[in-house]
Amino acid sequence: DTEVTQTPKHLVMGMTNKKSLKCEQHMGHRAMYWYKQKAKKPPELMFVYSYEKLSINESVPSRFSPECPNSSLLNLHLHALQPEDSALYLCASSQDPYNEQFFGPGTRLTVL
């Protein structure tokens, strides 16, 4: 089973809201990732968790806060977002940081 699931599929939020994106995988992968993708652009890496520890933070604004409760789950907490944060947010996982990544279907986020 090479499936990564993400919820919700769509999210609309105001700039003062607090919301969370969720990601889950049951492949026993030990690395998980959050990417942001704007229209007609490639995915941009936001965060990497390796063995449940945040190993890379690509200078993402503090209004995005990742959390890895266990090796199967990954959350992205959102607070005080800006309209320019509207994008497709993708979660991915890999067996370890040095293997191919498998992506979830994404959450389409719209910030009003």
Partner 1 sequence: EDQVTQSPEALRLQEGESSSLNCSYTVSGLRGLFWYRQDPGKGPEFLFTLYSAGEEKEKERLKATLTKKESFLHITAPKPEDSATYLCAVQGYGQNFVFGPGTRLSVLP
Binding site residues, partner 1, CB under 8 A: 2, 4, 6, 41-43, 45, 48, 56, 58, 88, 90, 92, 97-106, 108
Find the angle CA(48)-CA(111)-CA(42) to the nearest 5 degrees.
45
Least gap, CB of 43 to partner 1 (angstroms)? 6
Indicate the residue among 6 and 81 with the shorter CB distance to partner 1: 6
Least gap, CB of 20 to partner 1 (angstroms)? 19
Least gap, CB of 101 to partner 1 (angstroms)? 7
Indicate the residue among 36 and 64 with the shorter CB distance to partner 1: 36
Indicate the residue among 45 and 80 with the shorter CB distance to partner 1: 45
Indicate the residue among 70 and 98 with the shorter CB distance to partner 1: 98
Kindly give, in sequence order, each residue whose CB lies less than 8 Å from that of residue 109, ignoring residues fewer than 6 positions away: 11, 12, 13, 21, 78, 81, 85, 86, 87, 88, 89
- Under 8 Å between Cβ of 102 and 94: yes
How far, in Å, CA of 33 to CA of 68, rounded? 10
Least gap, CB of 26 to partner 1 (angstroms)? 17
Smallest CA-to-CA distance from 33 within 112, 85, 106 is with: 106
